Structure 1
Amino acid sequence: SATPSPPIGPALGQRGVNIMGFVKEFNARTEKEVKGTPLPTVITVYQDKSFTFITKTPPATHFIKQAAGITSASKLPGREVAGKITRVQLREIAEKKMKDLNANDLDAATKIIEGSARAMGLNVVDA
């Protein structure tokens, strides 16, 4: 849920956008999302101070942390293991993220998500 407090309020206010209008519209459009889920949003502000916005899927790291049952990634990836995640879980995450990833097919998307998981210090297991 969006609030008029920083960082949203100041960013929109300096462009002359009706902050409460944005907050109400954003919250109405995202009410089905789980509270606390980060939603990357691209806001376009026009010269007449009107705006449009597009919400994207939550970051891959959010889904990876949920699937692996961890709260934060490894501070030393490659040396310190933060947890493990299965290839099936990676494929499910890739299916959710497919429209936001620069991948031609699901296998390529799964490899992208797998790379993110490894960079977070997770071991990828088959089962």
Structure 2
Amino acid sequence: MAAAVKKKAVASIRLLINAGAAKPAPPVGPALGQAGLNIMAFCKDFNAKTAEFQSDVPLRVLISVYADKSYDWQLKMPPASFFIKRAAGLARGASQPGHESVANISLKHLYEIAKVKQQDMPGVPMKGVVRSLMYQCRSMGVGVVARPEDA
């Protein structure tokens, strides 16, 4: 038997697409078209795989393009800022982080977000993920409190 030959990726494409909303229009179409990929096949695959997510959830996609115009793609969790804004009930972060605080979230909420985000960070301990989320909160003008009642 022949051993499986690992293909060498010639390009890597990163996109942020709402769940179930991949269309041949920008940003998906131009990014995949430049690499010479079948745009409609990707859109159908992506929309089918993300059907169980809510339609407003932005998902990160990493596409590896190979020399024979084939591709593999990985679905990553939404950005941390999406989860933080949703937990705090915000539409956007502070316009002057560090000078103004727009909301508070509890450590319990941060821990729940960290459990989801840890899927994208293999090998990083939970404490490190929570710490990075705390820094993300600070950069958005969201305070972190110890108890959910204080939020």
Correspondence for 2:34 = 14
Identity of paired residues, percent?
42
- Note the aligned Cα RMSD (angstroms): 1.2
Give the alignment partner of residue 59 of structure 1, picking from 69, 73, 79.
79
Letter in 1 for 2:36: G
Following the alignment from structure 1 to structure 2, what is the Cα–Cα distance between the partners of residues 67 and 93? 9
Against the structure 1 CA distance between its residues 84 and 103, is the aligned structure 2 distance closer, same or farther, given a 3 Å change threshold? farther
Is 1:38 aligned with 2:58? yes
Pairwise CA distance, 1:99: 2.1
In proportion to residue count, which structure has more strand?
A: 2
Correspondence for 1:29 = 49
2:82 is paired with a residue whose SS is helix
Following the alignment from structure 1 to structure 2, what is the Cα–Cα distance between the partners of residues 70 and 83? 8
Correspondence for 2:115 = 95
Check conservation: 1:44, 1:52, Cα contact below 8 A: yes
Following the alignment from structure 1 to structure 2, what is the Cα–Cα distance between the partners of residues 102 and 123? 27
Number of corresponding residues = 127
Gaps of 5+ in 2: 1-20
Is 1:73 aligned with 2:82? no
Following the alignment from structure 1 to structure 2, what is the Cα–Cα distance between the partners of residues 51 and 7? 18
Correspondence for 1:118 = 138
For residues 60-116 of structure 1, the C-alpha deviation after alignment (integer angstroms, 9 at most, x for no partner) is 000000000001000101111111110100010001001223763212211111110
Pairwise CA distance, 1:11: 1.1
Letter in 2 for 1:6: P
Against the structure 1 CA distance between its residues 125 and 116, is the aligned structure 2 distance closer, same or farther, given a 3 Å change threshold? same
For residues 4-41 of structure 1, the C-alpha deviation after alignment (integer angstroms, 9 at most, x for no partner) is 10111011112211110010011111111110211111
Check conservation: 1:103, 1:109, Cα contact below 8 A: no
Following the alignment from structure 2 to structure 1, what is the Cα–Cα distance between the partners of residues 139 and 123? 19
Structure 1 runs, 4 residues or longer, greater than 4 Å off: none
